[in-house]
Copies of this chain bind each other. A is one copy, B any other.
Amino acid sequence: MSSSAELSGPTAEPGNTADRPYPQGIPEATVARLPIYLRALYSLAERGVATVASDELARAAGVNSAKLRKDLSYLGSYGIRGVGYDVEYLVYQVSRALGLTQNWPVVIVGAGNLGRALANYGGFLTRGFRIEGVLDSDPALVGGKLGGVTIRHVSELEAVVTGNGIAIGVIAVPAGAAQAVCDRLVAVGVTSILNFAPLVLSVPEGVDVRKVDLSIELQILAFHAQRRFAERYGQAADQAAAEA
């Protein structure tokens, strides 16, 4: 989770929040759900749905409707009582809240399986982001294409970042190389980092790191699976059950 909990967090100067789009700040938990709503809204729009009620959108997003309405209320009053929400308009408002009406240039460091998966991942390249550079240390990969971009050598990292005004970096290199890549990104002004390497990066104050950890999620599943087995067969049986 990100360090700051609010839009107008402790680093914001006091007293001038009144003319911001979202004066009270958007709770972090809400921010984390907005992308899910956005995806559900796109899916509705594609199916030609013009208006949606909170129950329906909530179901599509996998949350309850009270939570959805409260979440959306942080962005403003964009619904119509007795009717619901205009899908297209809500897409715009949620996009704007997330900063996706801009087009953020992104650099991906690491063009291995993970980097390739990212570049081809449905929705990674969508509205709001463009892959401006892909870097790798393997000479065999340099010069190849990925996501419409030519893979360049990682030694060009600084040139690629500064030359394209890149503020967001994606680290998709092995754990051993990740901290060094991170340090170099931060040194040339990248303040948002998405980390896929399985380690905790250390960064200076003011840099926002989010991590996607493929094995942590699996371990959380194992915890719940174990719990289910223990409930069903008693606490001694879970060992045997998993071996079966």
Q: Are B200 and A40 in contact (CB under 8 A)?
A: yes
Tell me, rounded to whole Å, the shortest Cβ–Cβ distance linking A180 to chain B: 16
Which residue of the partner chain, among B61, B170, B217, B239, contacts A212 with CB atoms under 8 Å?
A: B217
Could you tell me the distance between the alpha carbons of A206 and B112 in the complex, rounded to whole angstroms? 36
A126-B212 contact, Cβ under 8 Å, with A116-B113, A194-B221, A243-B103: no
Which residue of the partner chain, among B2, B102, B106, B216, contacts A239 with CB atoms under 8 Å?
A: B102
Convert A38-71 into 0s and 1s, putting 1 for each residue whose CB lies closer than 8 angstroms to a CB of B.
1110010000000000000000111000000000
A216 / chain B contacts, CB cutoff of 8 Å: 32, 35-36
Tell me, rounded to whole Å, the shortest Cβ–Cβ distance linking A107 to chain B: 12
Q: How large is the interface on A (under 10, 10 to 19, 20 to 34, 35 or more residues)?
A: 35 or more
A242 / chain B contacts, CB cutoff of 8 Å: 99, 102-105, 167
Q: Are B200 and A62 in contact (CB under 8 A)?
A: yes
187-244 of chain A: CB within 8 A of chain B: 191-194, 197-200, 206, 208, 210, 212-228, 230-231, 235, 238-239, 242-244
A2-B168 contact, Cβ under 8 Å, with A215-B121, A230-B20, A238-B102: no
Q: Are A200 and B235 in contact (CB under 8 A)?
A: no
A117 interfacial contact with B, CB 8 Å: yes
Residue of B nearest to A167 (CB): B225
A148 interfacial contact with B, CB 8 Å: no
Convert A101-137 into 0s and 1s, putting 1 for each residue whose CB lies closer than 8 angstroms to a CB of B.
1111110000011101110111110101100000000
A160 interfacial contact with B, CB 8 Å: no
For the complex of A and B, list the 9 residue pairs with the smallest distance between their C-beta atoms, beginning with the closest: A99-B226, A113-B117, A102-B242, A114-B117, A35-B219, A35-B216, A192-B221, A99-B222, A113-B116
